[in-house]
Amino acid sequence: MSKSLQAIRGMNDILPEQTPLWRYFEGTVARLLDNYGYRQIRMPIVEFTELFKRSIGEVTDIVEKEMYTFEDRNGDSLTLRPEGTAACVRAVLEHGITGGGQVQKLWYIGPMFRHERPQKGRYRQFHQIGLEVFNLDGPDIDAELIVMTWRLWGELGLRDAVKLELNSLGTSESRGRYREALVEFLSAHLDKLDEDSQRRLKTNPLRVLDTKNAETQAILADAPKMADYLDDESRAHFEGLKARLDAVGIPYVINPKLVRGLDYYSKTVFEWVTDKLGAQGTVCAGGRYDGLVEQMGGKPTPGVGFAMGIERLVLMLEALDKVPQELSRQVDVYLCAFGEAAELAAIVLSEALRDRLPNLRLQINAGAGSFKSQFKKADKSGALYALILGDDELAQQVVGFKPLRGQGEQQSIAWDALAAHLATCVVQG
Ligand code: ATP
Ligand code: MG
């Protein structure tokens, strides 16, 4: 195929073989969020570039080098959203739904866009499920977010494969004091820092903690610790969070170097990480951002949230063999009809079955065909049973009911008994 007719590098089709697993994952998360009282919000995929510059911060990786930014026909600078928090904050402010201290517990799902180097678990269009809570400032809600994800890992069978890392970044004041101490320390070792860290030291010094460079990491071993600079309020908040996680029995490790890539976090930050996906180990990340709404022009409004990467979690389910068996079958019953009169009866009969059994997954043979070819298609569909309608069956108002996976002999079933029979052997839920 010519190059121009291929998908863009790092932007993937999700093929029909893969969508059952995606829908299982998305459905599981959606049900969980419903059960905890979160409501879905849907934001546009494109926003003014300014929104992301203001919220994420000019000197972050995302804004510096990962955004898909373009000018539209009006000459406005627009950007394909690289994450969901900025747009969600914009939306709640625009619609005034966090005013007067109103609590909002919101979630969203959809594609995000970042111009990164594509590799396993890292793409240019990827998908997140994210969640934001506004106007609750205590550790109880931070704990709820983590407890909820812990439950999700349990439902998906992933608990043994993920690890929770926690840190507190303090308030912007205590973080400011820490930043000064860190800059002073690192400046004294400037010539030994890697190039990226030298640059970050000037623009976003906390990000130096995040470095992958071994030499810089060695220097950081003696650097001042964020925990020593925490203000009392942040310390109490962090203790409150840990007490709740301990009470529920959720294991965690404190990672003093966890700073997150974005500028807007304060107090709690956390990441769920795995060693099952190589370098792309973070499957869910989030934290508190009490200053963000005000920074974006709203009244002071505490906020906390997280986002998880759907591709990475789907990869994990596959890698750990946690794909539920029942996802492999998409069809329960395949109806074969032979001849024009039988085809007419088949469509009427199948509509009546769908009326009676709304969850029945019934596929009617399309495109006619011989006995042999229809059975071949029935078998290939993965169905458990084939229904057979030919002239003889039509005359007697019955169908042939043929197990396709070795569960007994073919039998004849009267049309008016068929729904009840199918209900006993295929329809659940
Ligand atoms: P990373 O350190 O892996 O680049 P991040 O800190 O940039 O992640 P966030 O902005 O916190 O990621 O996004 C939340 C989650 O979205 C990540 O934990 C990850 O699971 C997923 N994610 C982020 N970027 C990508 C990407 N390019 N491709 C696939 N998933 C991604
Ligand atoms: Mg990133």
Provide the pLDDT for residue 211. Answer: 86
> In the beta sheet, which residues pair with residue 305?
132, 287
pLDDT in tens, 39-71: 999 999 999 999 999 988 877 888 889 999 999
**Who lines ligand 1 at CB under 6 A?**
83, 114, 116, 121-123, 126, 128, 261, 280, 282-285, 307-309, 311-312
What's the full length of the chain, in residues? Answer: 429
Provide the pLDDT for residue 1. Answer: 58
* CATH 3.40.50.800 residue window(s) in the chain: 330-428
Name residues whose C-beta falls within 8 Å of residue 17's C-beta, 6 or more positions apart in sequence: none
Provide the pLDDT for residue 163. Answer: 98
Inter-CA distances, 255 with 22, 169, 201, 296, Å: 31, 11, 20, 29
State the CB neighbour count (10 A cutoff) for residue 415.
18
397 phi and psi angles, rounded to 5 deg? 55, 50
- The whole-angstrom separation of Cα 360 and Cα 339 is 25
* CATH 3.30.930.10 residue window(s) in the chain: 19-171+231-319
Short-list 33, 207, 252, CA closest to 132: 33
Phi-psi sector, 203: left (phi>0), alpha (psi -120 to 50), beta: alpha
Three-class secondary structure of residue 3 per DSSP: helix
The CATH label, of 3.60.20.10, 3.40.50.2300, 3.10.20.30, 3.30.930.10, for the domain at 19-171+231-319 is: 3.30.930.10
Closest-lying ligand 1 atom to the alpha carbon of residue 308? 15
For ligand 1, mutation pick of 85, 128, 129 (most atoms within 8 Å of CB)? 128
Phi-psi sector, 171: left (phi>0), alpha (psi -120 to 50), beta: beta
Provide the pLDDT for residue 204. Answer: 84
CB-side exposure of 318: number of CA atoms within 13 Å?
15
| Eight-class DSSP state of 209 | G
Q: Which residues does the chain have with pLDDT short of 50?
A: none
pLDDT in tens, 87-99: 999 999 999 999 9
Q: How far is the CA of 309 from the centre of ligand 1 (A)?
A: 6
Name residues whose C-beta falls within 8 Å of residue 48's C-beta, 6 or more positions apart in sequence: 76, 77, 78, 79
Q: How far is the CA of 350 from the centre of ligand 1 (A)?
A: 46
Q: Report the CATH fold assignment for 330-428.
A: Rossmann fold (3.40.50)
| Eight-class DSSP state of 9 | T
Q: How far is the CA of 200 from the centre of ligand 2 (A)?
A: 15
Name residues whose C-beta falls within 8 Å of residue 271's C-beta, 6 or more positions apart in sequence: 164, 165, 255, 258, 260, 282, 284, 285
Q: How far is the CA of 62 from the centre of ligand 2 (A)?
A: 7
